[in-house]
Amino acid sequence: MRWVVLGFLFLLSVLNYTDKTVLGLAAEPIMSELNLSYDQFGLVGSSFFAAYAVGSIILSTLTYRFNTKYLLMIIAAGWTVSLASAYFVETVTNLILLRVTLGFFEGGTLGLCIAHLSRWFTSSQRGVASAIMTSGTTVGTYLAAPLLVMGITNLGWQHTFAILGAASSIWAFFFFFMRDEPKQPLVEDVKSLASNKEVPFKYILKVLINPYVLSILVVGFVSMWITTWVITWAPTYLTKIVGLEPHIMSLVFAGMGIAGTVFAICAGKFTDMLFKKNKSLIKSYDRVLVIVLLVGAVSYAMTTIVSSPVLACIFLGGGLVMNTSLLPLNVAIKTLIIPKKLVGSVTGISLSISSMAGVIGPWITGYLITFTGDDVRSGFNSGVLVIVSLYVVTAIVLLATRKLKITATEKEDARRTTEEKQMSLNVSVE
């Protein structure tokens, strides 16, 4: 049953990123029909991420009190309502309201999915499970684009939006018949993991400022930075700098997405095997994450040196493949180092911070390109070197904080049990 549940979470991730990218793909017909300027359309895009940041905190925090299954169904219903309202869009204000509503409900997706995933998979299974779940983001970003363009061209953007909304409601209907949690409680092999701790919500700030938790939040920020760079600038980089024809670029781009998905799942399986073997977070998930960051840094750096289009595609592809692995590794580690009841809330808060990378990242690259004037290659290379710096700094931060993670020892568990019994006794006496 858990693999069926994982399949549903994968499909939700696909819909999540498909809904994100459809606005950009429909930019020309929307701007033409509504007579929008570029700055007005940019405001529409920014409104989505602003609502996304708010929704990620509010909706993910609800996981501490409410059933994640029904929360997931609620956000899917929210997508349906917002996307179906495309038929009523006549002004830029209407379009902003649509995207704000969609952004709010999509903001809680990752936090809710992570919280639900941790209820179905043990710590030694979450690497591959997280990779499969988050690979939906790659499918939604890279592979769904041709279908969306076909729909926008043949049916119109309103019908395409509405079809995506209908898909969300269909998902919610079938997900209703899934179990809330496994029949048998999960049995963890490693008792010292923080995910096994029962921590009251009032201690969430203490969890957030833990050095290792903060370093994982940095990974999420960097992953979002690269993802938005890929969506915004990678196609232009491949055509204007590498020199590929648009149709070749689209095939190369899709190929990079497929390779990234396969690699991320294999990396997840590998980290699960390591963790099951040595029962050490540092020697499994953490070590692989650091290696991915360093290999990614080298790959991106090489794209600024080579002049051959083939080598440029290979190194850029290598960097993009490494970035595809960042999100699932980040997700898997979060489910291990954060107390289970707080993982959704912490993810929501971290995602709201990471979403700021989606706002400033593409702008910084654009500024660097403009600053260099006619030397467009130099501007692009400067943007890539920013990515390299982020990768290296993040790897250093991880290495410096890896031994400062939250743990749950048997002594703490025994003390907590004693306190609970004492509280129960006091209640009985009263």
24: burial class by Cβ within 10 Å (0-12, 13-18, 19+)?
Answer: middle
Rounded to 10 degrees, what is the CA torsion of 213, 216, 218, 224? -140
CA-CA distances (angstroms) from residue 305 to 84, 236, 241, 377, 378?
47, 18, 12, 11, 11
Contact between residue 398 and residue 293 where contact means Cβ atoms under 8 Å apart: yes
Q: Which of 61-65, 93-97, 289-293, 408-412 has the lowest mean pLDDT?
A: 408-412
Separation of alpha carbons 134 and 331, rounded Å:
9
176: burial class by Cβ within 10 Å (0-12, 13-18, 19+)?
Answer: exposed
Separation of alpha carbons 107 and 311, rounded Å:
37
3-state secondary structure of 407: strand
The per-residue pLDDT for 162 is 94
Separation of alpha carbons 32 and 268, rounded Å:
44
CA-CA distances (angstroms) from residue 215 to 53, 92, 249, 394, 405?
20, 39, 35, 7, 10
Q: Quick check: pTM over 0.75?
A: no
Contact between residue 64 and residue 344 where contact means Cβ atoms under 8 Å apart: yes
Separation of alpha carbons 265 and 286, rounded Å:
16
Tokens 């994450």: give the residue. 289
* pLDDT band for position 61 (cuts 50, 70, 90): confident
Q: Does the pLDDT at position 414 exceed 80?
A: no
Averaged over 45-68, what is the pLDDT? Answer: 83
Contact between residue 349 and residue 54 where contact means Cβ atoms under 8 Å apart: no
Q: Does the pLDDT at position 426 exceed 60?
A: no
pLDDT digits (tens, 9 = 90+) for 175-195: 999 988 888 777 666 666 666
Q: Does the pLDDT at position 75 exceed 90?
A: yes
pLDDT digits (tens, 9 = 90+) for 193-231: 666 677 778 878 888 888 888 898 899 888 888 877 776
The per-residue pLDDT for 148 is 82
Distance of CA 31 to the CA centre of its chain: 28
295: burial class by Cβ within 10 Å (0-12, 13-18, 19+)?
Answer: middle
Separation of alpha carbons 297 and 309, rounded Å:
19
Percent of the chain at pLDDT > 70 equals 89
Angle between helical axes of 343-371 and 376-401 (0-180°, round to 10): 150
Tokens 């290696």: give the residue. 291
| DSSP sequence for 101-156 | HHHHHHHTHHHHHHHHHHHHS-GGGHHHHHHHHHHHHHIIIIISHHHHHHHHHHH-
Q: Does the pLDDT at position 411 exceed 50?
A: no
Domains in the chain, start-ordered, CATH in brackets?
1-183 (1.20.1250.20), 188-423 (1.20.1250.20)
Identity of the highest mean pLDDT range in 35-39, 85-89, 232-236, 252-256: 85-89
